[in-house]
Amino acid sequence: MPSEPLSQKEIEDRLRELPGWSLADNRIQRTYHLGSHLAASALVAHIAVVQDELDHHSDLTLGYDTVRLSVNTHSAGDAVTETDFALAERIEGLAPAHGAS
Ligand SMILES: C[C@H](O)[C@H](O)[C@H]1CNC2=NC(N)=NC(=O)C2=N1
């Protein structure tokens, strides 16, 4: 899926529809809090499946009961693109089933 860099305004508009997500260092990011380390690990595994399906991959950091992720699009010069938001929306859709907040 070709994806062009989004403007600052486009990014801010899209972020308004994604509570918990923010922009930092040309990446969109969110930290999820879970009930246990195993729950956090399961969320990472689930996100990995979706990322391979979309062929778009975030940087993921697994903590004790947290999952932090950030993403931009390498092929667009490490800019934020619509593909990053498509991934974020997919993750938002699956995270609640893991008890993530
Ligand atoms: C060959 C493969 O399609 C590319 O390397 C994909 C894989 N995952 C990716 N992930 C991210 N975040 N940006 C990319 O440009 C990207 N490109």
Q: Is 56 helix (H, G, I), strand (E, B) or coil?
A: coil
Residue of 4, 52, 56 to test ligand 1 pocket, by largest number of atoms within 8 Å of CB: 56
Query: Ligand 1 pocket by C-beta < 6 Å: which residues?
Result: 55-57, 71, 73-75
Residue of 1, 27, 55, 60 to test ligand 1 pocket, by largest number of atoms within 8 Å of CB: 55
**Is a pLDDT exceeding 70 seen at residue 1?**
no
The rounded distance, in Å, linking the Cα atoms of 11 and 44 is 25
The rounded distance, in Å, linking the Cα atoms of 84 and 65 is 24
* pLDDT per residue as tens digits for the range 17-41: 999 999 999 999 999 999 999 999 9
Q: Is CATH 3.30.1360.20 the right assignment for the domain spanning 1-75? A: yes
Give residue 35 CA to ligand 1 midpoint distance, Å.
Answer: 31
Mean pLDDT of the chain: 97
